[in-house]
Structure formats: structure tokens, C-alpha cells
Amino acid sequence: MGNFRKYAVKANSVEDFLEKYTKHDRHYGRGEEYAKERIAYYKKELKEIGFCFMSKHESVTGRVVAYFGDIALNS
């Protein structure tokens, strides 16, 4: 987990993280059902390992981004 802290970005929720940082064609561009499943997957990942992340290929930033969900980091 520590190595991913350098990729941390601010977001208010998993949904906010995905909406802000995912390329449209990799999220809602694939349909509402796909987006719902992706949100559920990222929520599970956050719960199980304490953060979720996306690759530079999915991210609008062109780099890896990670969401930790903790108030201190995201406020």
C-alpha cells in the first residue's frame, strides 16, 4: 500500500474517484451496467486492501492514480 501513496488523488467517494479520473470510454462509455459493476469492484478493492487504483491507460491524467478513502488524505 505504501508505494501507491505517491499516486493518491483527492475524491469524495469511489464514484467521485471514478468519475473524475477515468477516461469516459473506459467507464460510462461502456454502458451503465458496466459502470455499476466497475464501481462495485472498486468499492470491494477499497474495503479489502485499503485503497483502489487505476492504470495510466484508464486515467485521464495519463498516470496511475489511487484513492484511499481516508478523510485526512482527501480533505
Give domain status of residue 72, yes or no. Answer: no
Q: Quote the number of domains for the chain.
A: 1
55: number of CA atoms within 13 Å, CB side?
3
Instruction: Note whether residue 45 is domain-resident.
Output: yes
User: pLDDT per residue over 6-62, tens digit each?
Assistant: 999 999 999 999 999 999 888 888 889 999 999 999 999 999 999 999 999 999 999
For residue 24, the enclosing domain spans 2-63
In a domain, 73, yes or no: no
CA 62 from centroid of its chain's CA atoms: 14
pTM confidence score: 0.86
Residue 10, in any domain of the structure: yes
Residue 17 lies in a domain: yes
Query: Residue 25 has what DSSP assignment?
Result: G
